[in-house]
Amino acid sequence: MSKDTTSLLTFDLDDEYCVEIDYVAEIVDERTVTSIPDTDTRVKG
């Protein structure tokens, strides 16, 4: 990509957020997340 272009990762946690992709270490598919017992239902793992 050219230096004039910025790639962003956008996500939603009740509000929409974005972060420059250069700061992202890993993107985990939500289907691979293991649930944690006795946690709030909003916690996916």
- 5-31 pLDDT, tens digit per residue, is 999 999 888 899 999 999 999 987 777
Residues in Cβ contact with 24 at an 8 Å cutoff, skipping those fewer than 6 apart: 9
Q: Quote the pLDDT of residue 1.
A: 58
For residue 16, the one-letter residue type is E
Q: Quote the pLDDT of residue 22.
A: 94
Is residue 3's pLDDT more than 80?
A: no
* End-to-end Cα, the chain, rounded Å: 34
Q: Quote the pLDDT of residue 28.
A: 79
Domain residue spans of the chain: 1-31
Mean pLDDT, residues 23-44: 83
Q: Quote the pLDDT of residue 24.
A: 94
Residue written as token pair 């004039």: 4
